[in-house]
Amino acid sequence: MPKVIFLPHEELCPEGLVVEAKEGDTVLDLALENHIHIEHACEKSCACTTCHVIVREGFDSLEESDELEDDMLDKAWGLEPDSRLGCQACVKDEDLVIEIPKYTVNIVSENH
């Protein structure tokens, strides 16, 4: 069974967390089920960037992002080549190492 390793995040997951996953689970659902409260303003419909994550290991095991996800990611804070939306990144048969960015577009705009 693959594992998803969430790297420590100062506010959402200070200790980091390792969870077992089933093929087809999304990174966002796994986070939420394990009390890592990643924002998801569009309720998992690929219509915002608040669940943006960076896949530090296992990126190539994910299905390629589609055009809609790519368009959304272009608006994400701190976009990197291995960025994905947590609501769209489905676990396959490899472990994933996930970094939750420090900010989302929502948090950045609320603090200014």
pLDDT of 25-43, one tens digit each?
999 999 999 999 999 999 9
Residue 108 has pLDDT above 50, yes or no: no
Residue 110 has pLDDT above 90, yes or no: no
Q: What is the pTM of this model?
A: 0.91
- 3-state per-residue secondary structure call for 38-96: CCCCCCCCCCCCCCEEEEEECHHHCCCCCHHHHHHHCCCCCCCCCEEECCCCECCCCCE
3-110 is classed in which CATH architecture? Roll (3.10)
Per-residue pLDDT band for 103 (boundaries 50, 70, 90) equals: confident
Per-residue pLDDT band for 58 (boundaries 50, 70, 90) equals: very high
User: CA gyration radius for the chain?
Assistant: 13
Domain boundaries defined on the chain:
3-110
Per-residue pLDDT band for 88 (boundaries 50, 70, 90) equals: very high
